[in-house]
Structure 1
Amino acid sequence: MLGNFSFGDYFKREAINWGWEFLTGKEWLGLPADRLTVSVYLDDDEAAEIWTNDIKLTPERIERMGEDDNFWPAGAPSKGPDGVCGPCSEIFFHTDGGSVEIWNLVFTQFNRVGDPPNNLRPLPSKNIDTGMGLERTAAVLQGVDSNFHIDILRPIVEAAAEVCGLKYDPASDHGRRLRRITDHVRACTFAIHENVYPGNKKQGYVIKRLLRRAVLDGRQLGLHGPFMFKLVPKVAEIMRGPYPELSETVGAVANVIRDEEDNFFSTIDAGLQKVDGIFNEMRASSRVMVDGHDAFEMYATHGFPPELLETLAAEHNFTFDWTGFRAEMEDHEKVSGGGQVKELFKSGPLDALKKALHGSEFLGYQQVEAKAKVVGLIAHDQLCDQIEELNGKDPIVVVLDRTPFYGESGGQ
């Protein structure tokens, strides 16, 4: 995403004129002006006047639209949330086959307070917040019909097709899957390079979901083992201009992705069989919603993220019981004592060990297995020389002098 911002320095007239100059000026992008149209918020006469008088657009090239389309956040005047908001003006490029929005100029000029009417209060400082789709604009400039066919994505799509033993056909179902694999492996390569590893919480869970969605695509294309890790070198090669540092971690990133693929491939066939069984039972009983308990069992037993199961359900015109799933998760966390270990890390003997030993040496960038010395044992919130037995309820902490496990302080 590209953008420009202003906090009280300039407003609509400058943003619109400069945006138009950047898009159409020969020294900038040089897009043909007759291929561009705009939209404005229904009540934004000021923006419409600027497009008409400054840019000389005719009325048929200026479309007025409601708050769901031309207000940020969408629908804010009627639906909220309270806070800073404002109308926006979108710029569209028209091709022979349709049009694509390439730039959204947001005029954050109001503070929403409460429900309408008269709930939009002018801000003392008028602000600008714009967003231009980098890859959409690149597709327009390169004359291709898809973001995935630009010069930094098409080679990865082709590499994905080769890894999957296919010839890329944009219009086919496998073309759609190859594009998704491309998007997800690129995102995960960058994230893991920045030490965001697949996991079950926060950022790590996002990466895990992306990888498992792409693995499912690979399985549905006929693959039975890891394949995404083979695309990491291609991502690094294509992006080496602006991101040369990617080449330094290709091996480590590929290993992380391969491990996650191995984990999911080991359960995916059994999981898909279970999914088919759930869907068949639903059809037999005329149910249309995937039960939250079934979804939790899929997650806990087969590693199926609920979002992935929801996607599969939608392909069969089923809905998903998020309320039931969350209730099952909460019950599980209560039973398993979720959160105890996290609290233990905040203070007490572990904190004392950390200060005395200055932390454990992190090896994760070079290896995922290591030999280490036990330098501390903690049970019942006390340092121990040895532990005779475990009761299965209270957390036990084993402190090592070196480890390939990444610390929570890094966002994991």
Structure 2
Amino acid sequence: MSNREIFENIFNEADVKINGDRPWDIVVHDDKVFDQIMLQGSIAFGEGYMDGLWDCERIDELLNRLLKINVEEKVGALNKIKVGLSKIKSFVNPQSIAKVKQDVPFHYDLGNDLFELMLDDRMAYTCAYWKDASNLNEAQEAKLDLICRKLNLQPGMRLLDIGCGWSSFMNYAAEKYGVICDGLTLSVEQQQLGQKMANDNNLPVNVILQDYREFKPEQAYDRVVSIGMIEHVGPSNYDDFFKCASSFLVDNGVFLLHTIGSPHSQHSVDPWINKYIFPNGVVPSMARLGSSIEGLLNIEDIHNFGPDYDKTLVAWEANFEKNWDKISSQYSEKFYRMWRFYLLSCAGAFRSRDLSLWQIALTKIGAELPVYVRAS
């Protein structure tokens, strides 16, 4: 049986046709892609799209269908490759301070123009909250406000944002709730634009270019948040991350963690994502997070709204497509295909529930239960 025939049988189980005419069917231009996938696993699947070996109108739905049938388990070679990589990475710390100072700019310093055209008006690059929203701007503001309400922010409070991005949350919290904010990032592009947006609106926001492990605040903060950053921390550093977050927080404060979540404990992300999008990123499992939280912090609330990330990624991809002609001269056609595959394949992962989105509210052990809004 040829490799093409093997994949035809697998795809049939997912109701995906090779060279079919439905939006989620895969159109193959060169059969060598099947040989490459058998040898190299999922990285060859993504690279095959980047190289124009196959096309698909709805990559998000294609990935949703393939993930639901556990496609990697059905191709034994892929699983062996993944296990081997995980074992290698488990003996090193790929998220050391020196390493993350290289890896974070790899993605976030691609160019503010790209992200400004893709994201909402406030430049929030994390999952939006679509419960009562009809567009991306509304959904991102709803997410920011949900976090503010869970933290029970009050005027004059001091807040630290670990991994603050373009300061979207801090700017919102300072503007709407009157809090004073410091934020940490390792991206020069984020630091410069985030600070400019805060300064333009005369907000008490300070964006600091520093790793959380090197940060030494003069005093503790009333509230601490980390929104979409722990995916860069890695299991080897979870203990240090939560110890740092706890040390930054006053005794009766609240720490809110917003993170993508995996149903499986792992040491690496998908090889294609690792190579092209988020080097050395790791999506945490609840077991791994819980182990590092144990004995240090109380879990007050857990809120899962993973399906909202599907909608967020689809909205980002729509903005990317709509505005591509404005930036296409600065990027290659291969970059265009890479970015499209990134956004839509991730949407498919959330749609299939292969990934989740968690907001976890935490307090110090022994602290009085604070007043804040639980999941809604």
Indicate the TM-score class for this superposition, using the shorter chain for normalisation. under 0.3
Rg larger in structure: 1
Q: Which has the higher contact order (CA 8 A, sep 6+)?
A: 2
Q: TM-score, normalised by structure 2?
A: 0.28
